[in-house]
Structure 1
């Protein structure tokens, strides 16, 4: 029994005992009066009796006066069942909603001399360090802000073999960005970072992100660091990263956007280092990278390299030979017998030089092989999975696109493996059947498209990329029990979510699979416990956003990619094209929130496009311009308030926040807000009827951050952590209508953050 209910029960029992004692005591006292037949004597006796009963009753019910209202509150509020499932008074940026991995872990790196010091690299979620005490991953790059969003792309990492406190990272997500990537150094295992003076185009989320590693520290001289770039050749530091110079005489001619993919030092012979110019071949230097020669007959499409303690070089490759070794000036093809798949994952046991692991890659499944004789013979590893995330299924349990494979130097038999969705570990790689356990607590990397937080039912429903979406039925600190698809249709991505404001158990979601161009949606009448797929959906039409009528859950409007919006009035059995609106933006990687339903009027919808707010009063069948506003057709967020007719709010990023109280016919700029990147409304504070207003943006006099207003924008309070600004492309903001102060931010690669400041 919860503590609150137990305390109330004790008060109730105590009150009943007091009342019983009062009644019994009153009877005894009145019997002590002399018996008399006079009217006055009888009246005095009864008066005394009832006075004593009332006095004891007052004492008893005064105790219940606390308990009854609180019992009513506890029974009506979800806090009694959810209090243990989210942490109170948490600043936004400090806590993630527990989902469980969901993004590509492109490498794993145990330190060669320090036990339990392990790092992972991700393609869009930054870097993490292993916490062995509670077996979770600690995010290390959450200090980057929105203007530094590209730094969440993990290009490369290097550990100093001689100093476990030193770690270097290369950070930058895409080559197409105007902002270059950069190198950073930490002297405290990733707790804090110093930017180094090397800025180059990087692609932590680009081709061959699963291969490498292109950053390396010399094991015999920690002052020397080499970095192989994608477009700008080879770079070297001779003072532990303080300054860098380009090795202009490096002779390799790699593919332009992959570049020098892998660099590895000989662990024994000082000065010997190998570099893979992808598409050209493997080069060797014997003077710490100053001069290079190409190794004759080397494979050209090398993915990963490792040097054993006996100085043998091992490689995996996209094309034949898939696994090779180089010793005594000679290459040898040692590829295990398998299907015609590329090999990627590679690890050489630092304590047993002929013990090597190699894994196929770039495939939606995995086969891993082990040799103990330097590749003369191989044994395919039989596996058993101990899955700790209940919603992981299908391809997620096949180790797709294996990237990282690493013997743990400090624990014999322990091996780490990373794939498209998370990190796995076995503590006995030599078992007849190897047991792999996934460790993903703390690693949150889903890309979020949409969220809703209805006034009853689950605290949160989320639509995400690649893994469908979730009803967060176990609260915020435990992984969801399953994806949408277990109780209805499953989509690769859920792009839009909505609910009927006046009937909030009615939900709708839209999504599909962009790879095979199949799209649809589903409705729920029970807060997401079960879903019914639309009976029809227009072919080759990608849905983006959806808005459901406040009063009619059968009526909703859907924006589409490159086409006009569509609507249905019968829950998806039939569809018509909306009149009066332009074609939608390209999808699915689009987070413009252009569409909203009125807070009370079930026939009214709003839409924003290119400086114009449109309105429909006929259930979304036709729209017409309601007002003009100078906002351009760039980033925008259109919001309405459940229960308030005609309240329309428009966040236009650096064009500020604007409010309409007349259904979009006119807008007034909120002067206190300089930037409104994301906007949402949630439950009022206790004792108030004014919804709490939240923004991710900039408030005059307070700078950038996440803020709450309790007076519709007149004054603001910061509710975000300044040191963890949620910089990985915050896509959507949703405030709870069940819990005052509870608010969510969905990102493009760092999952969902939540805050709970009351």
Structure 2
């Protein structure tokens, strides 16, 4: 269970500096600790930097009887609860940590609410059904009795794919409305499962005993499996088991399991199942959503394809399941462009209001939301071409919900957040973007400028690109590319922070294309580099770096490539003398470059080894502005560990020439002589075997920021790592002599990736959680 702890771990860790085997102790790095109070204190506030949306909300779930109570699930960024009183979202899974492989559980595949108790909420989590080697990964179920303030979790006996294809399929987790401690889960790879004790233990139902192997999962691709179930009962409470239910089965799993239909019925609580005939024109289709109304009618969406933004044809049918009346009536169809995604129904019979989502349409004027007010007899468009308040409201419209307390309030998802209208009955409804505090962007790199710069930081992120953030409470507007793109990495010129350089991937081109860019006016205007260095076009991974030493002088290290430099702002590039980065097993790996802010003629390059089975990490030093490099023999003597690119980090103290800090995934190293020698700090240590799921890395991210007043060291140091077996974010105010934990168990974010310290405000760091955008402290 996650509970908030306001404590410091460990109790003032005395991390006296000691040299590695074969390494040298740098001057002033060891001996008596400075006469300065030991590092104490932790972050007292955590706030999301404003973007608004930015990621794929895969499902919205209203409580059936409590007005205004709603939850949203996301593919990688956890879950949120709607705060009806102030019109904002409250993240409820920030306590999911990194230990025990918990970063795998920040993707939510399904949410279920207890209809008889609005305090109870359940999440089924897991990002992928298999690991990189094709081995199945089982998911978890999280249970909360206080609307997500605290959680208890149980391991599941089947895989979960919250970030896999078809992740917006209707809720796979369903609670029996008359006996909510009985629940079913429609799994992707292992059939239909049942629990009679609120998710603590599970047994496979009689629908199918087939459990797909890793090889079968790999061969099929993103398996949709058993998609969802519906109870033939809308009563709340009573304690009696609901015996009759229906299960939709995707053809990908059904074919392997030997099932003969895409819809099955059970009349004995899931013990046994019989196939239900579906209309011949949808045989072999997927069922992305289905709902039941209080009169016992089912509204079922069929689509030929499955997955986010899937193309049609698509059909909406009404199905009468009462008293054996299993007849079908077609209500709507779409044959071109996008297919059908979500469906929601308010009321019953001939006056039922039906909202139908059209997904995979890439035009503001195309069909987006179809609405019927007469049970499906006629339809009209209520989103495409209507009044919207900025942003893209079309695309992945894979879930739609009519507010059960207000039929004019309709919400739908896209690939970048949530949209809503409060006047659906209008001939021309207006729409807004209710995404306040719903932050699901994925930052890949972040860099902060010196104090006094006209912006806070440069954020390089997946899907949304690169942005210059001038106001933490306002969505940024300064970016180099409006199209769908990735920002891979960036740098700012310390002597003139108006000059910014970066690299990214334009996802809107076919094929996708790498581009480099620069701004000379703090992001108000941008230009692309006229050419790309060798290796950049063919290596679009964010596992690389770019730095600038002065205007027009840039060094770019694309993933898998020898870094190159330009002296003419990208008109031409020349290869440095660095060797190609390590490439063990084909894993993406590049150099981490940093510029000495006091002497920009010095540039440092770090090769992490690329993987835990790769060669030892190495540091190279340039004294001619990044044109030629020499191997630091001190880094060889330090015996740096070999780790994947994203488990390592290197930064420079901008206040002192030659003052470097490095995290090799296992430990923290410090050099005060431009990388000539390195000293390993005690205290940080990895827990767990290399490559083991749940391994706690000793030190994976390091950042420096403004020093505490009176500190003997000119920068505050922040490290993401493990001390005394406890993973977290740690800080030091005395140059690494003592450490205190800076975060707490309620603020773990499924792990911390990119991080940078602020040079204007002591105690402020910007860091990315797992799909939680950027968070800043204090």
CA deviation after TM superposition for structure 1 residue 491, in Å: 6.5
Given that residues 557 and 568 in structure 1 are in contact (C-alpha distance below 8 angstroms), is that contact kept between their aligned partners in structure 2? yes
CA, structure 1 residues 597+231, in 2 after alignment: closer, same or farther (shift >3 Å)? same
CA, structure 1 residues 132+698, in 2 after alignment: closer, same or farther (shift >3 Å)? same
The one of 287, 305, 322 aligned to 2:268: 287
The one of 704, 719, 723 aligned to 2:727: 704
CA deviation after TM superposition for structure 1 residue 470, in Å: 1.9
CA deviation after TM superposition for structure 1 residue 335, in Å: 2.4
CA, structure 1 residues 403+243, in 2 after alignment: closer, same or farther (shift >3 Å)? same
Paired residues for 1:85-124 under 5 Å: 91=43, 94-124=46-76
Structure 2 Cα separation of the partners of residues 516 and 351 of structure 1: 48
Which has the bigger relative contact order, CA under 8 A and spacing at least 6? Answer: 2
Which residue matches 1:323?
A: 316
CA deviation after TM superposition for structure 1 residue 640, in Å: 1.3
CA, structure 1 residues 685+568, in 2 after alignment: closer, same or farther (shift >3 Å)? same
Given that residues 706 and 759 in structure 2 are in contact (C-alpha distance below 8 angstroms), is that contact kept between their aligned partners in structure 1? yes
CA, structure 1 residues 163+384, in 2 after alignment: closer, same or farther (shift >3 Å)? farther
CA deviation after TM superposition for structure 1 residue 717, in Å: 2.8
CA, structure 1 residues 348+180, in 2 after alignment: closer, same or farther (shift >3 Å)? same
Which residue matches 1:261?
A: 227
Tell me the alpha carbon deviations over residues 167-201 of structure 1, each in whole angstroms, 9 at most, x when there is no partner: 11100011123652111211111111111352421
Structure 2 Cα separation of the partners of residues 405 and 199 of structure 1: 30
CA deviation after TM superposition for structure 1 residue 90, in Å: 8.5
Structure 2 Cα separation of the partners of residues 588 and 573 of structure 1: 31
TM-score (norm: length of structure 2): 0.79
Structure 2 Cα separation of the partners of residues 530 and 220 of structure 1: 60
Mark the runs of 5 or more structure 1 residues left unpaired by the alignment: 1-88
Paired residues for 1:686-725 under 5 Å: 686-688=709-711, 690-698=713-721, 700=723, 703-725=726-748
Paired residues for 1:524-673 under 5 Å: 524-538=519-533, 540-542=537-539, 544=542, 545-550=544-549, 552-583=550-581, 594-609=592-607, 610=609, 611-627=617-633, 628=636, 629-634=639-644, 635-653=647-665, 655-673=666-684
Paired residues for 1:138-217 under 5 Å: 138-147=90-99, 148-177=102-131, 179-217=137-175
Structure 1 Cα separation of the partners of residues 234 and 748 of structure 2: 43
CA deviation after TM superposition for structure 1 residue 707, in Å: 1.9
Tell me the alpha carbon deviations over residues 475-521 of structure 1, each in whole angstroms, 9 at most, x when there is no partner: x23322x1403xx7766111111112222332111112256232222
Which residue matches 1:302?
A: 287
CA, structure 1 residues 182+362, in 2 after alignment: closer, same or farther (shift >3 Å)? farther
1:498 aligns with 2:491: yes
Which residue matches 1:275?
A: 247
Structure 2 Cα separation of the partners of residues 92 and 124 of structure 1: 26
1:479 aligns with 2:479: no
The one of 209, 222, 233 aligned to 2:191: 233
> Secondary structure at the residue paired with 2:288?
strand
CA deviation after TM superposition for structure 1 residue 643, in Å: 3.5
CA deviation after TM superposition for structure 1 residue 579, in Å: 2.2
Structure 2 Cα separation of the partners of residues 567 and 385 of structure 1: 49
CA, structure 1 residues 591+141, in 2 after alignment: closer, same or farther (shift >3 Å)? farther
CA, structure 1 residues 333+578, in 2 after alignment: closer, same or farther (shift >3 Å)? farther
Structure 2 Cα separation of the partners of residues 213 and 529 of structure 1: 44
Structure 2 Cα separation of the partners of residues 577 and 587 of structure 1: 24
Structure 1 Cα separation of the partners of residues 383 and 740 of structure 2: 56
CA deviation after TM superposition for structure 1 residue 582, in Å: 1.1
Tell me the alpha carbon deviations over residues 621-679 of structure 1, each in whole angstroms, 9 at most, x when there is no partner: 233321313311422111112132222211012x2000112222221101133322210
Structure 2 Cα separation of the partners of residues 202 and 592 of structure 1: 32
> Secondary structure at the residue paired with 2:557?
strand
> Secondary structure at the residue paired with 1:503?
coil
Q: CA RMSD for the aligned pairs?
A: 2.8
**Which range moves more in the overlay, 146-155 or 260-269?**
260-269
Structure 2 Cα separation of the partners of residues 683 and 587 of structure 1: 40
Which residue matches 1:52?
A: none
Structure 2 Cα separation of the partners of residues 277 and 576 of structure 1: 56
Which residue matches 1:132?
A: 84
More helix by share: 1
CA deviation after TM superposition for structure 1 residue 292, in Å: 1.3
CA, structure 1 residues 93+127, in 2 after alignment: closer, same or farther (shift >3 Å)? farther
> Secondary structure at the residue paired with 2:562?
strand
